[in-house]
Amino acid sequence: MTSLKNNVQLIGRLGNNPEIRTFESGKKMATFSLATNEIYKNNQGERVEETQWHSIVVWGKKTEIVEKYLLKGSEVSLSGKLVYRKFEVDGEKKFATEIIMGEMLMLNKANT
């Protein structure tokens, strides 16, 4: 059960085309936003649709798959681990919550 300590599973659609970065070492990284939707009825019986946005980070060989096959609107199922980062921009402290992708299943491609 050690793999269940920090595991996130999501099904959603890409909110943007993946951004690919190649570092001097040759290592690649991809980032994209993923939208997940939840539909429920509130206390008044009204239908409510709520969208959550998640920042996804991909490293290594998986970056090549993301670069080749995923576009804005692509539907994917993915799992990964949740990470929190803090950094400074112009002296101001910033915080980011990201999901480092471990596995991915492409459910369809975006209509282009």
* 101 burial via Cβ count (<10 Å: 0-12, 13-18, 19+): buried
Above 80 in pLDDT, residue 13? yes
Tokens of 90: 């112009």
pLDDT-derived band at 108 (thresholds 50, 70, 90) equals confident
Helix (H) or strand (E) holding 59: strand 47-59
Q: Over the stretch 59-86, which tens digit does the pLDDT of each residue have?
A: 999 999 999 999 999 999 999 999 999 9
pLDDT-derived band at 2 (thresholds 50, 70, 90) equals low
Above 90 in pLDDT, residue 4? no
Count of domains in the chain?
Answer: 1
Task: Give the residue numbers spanning the domain of 36.
Answer: 2-108
Q: Which residues contact 94 (CB under 8 A, 6 or more apart)?
A: 86, 87, 88
Tokens of 88: 């400074």
* 4 burial via Cβ count (<10 Å: 0-12, 13-18, 19+): exposed
| pTM of the predicted model as reported, rounded to 2 decimal places | 0.85
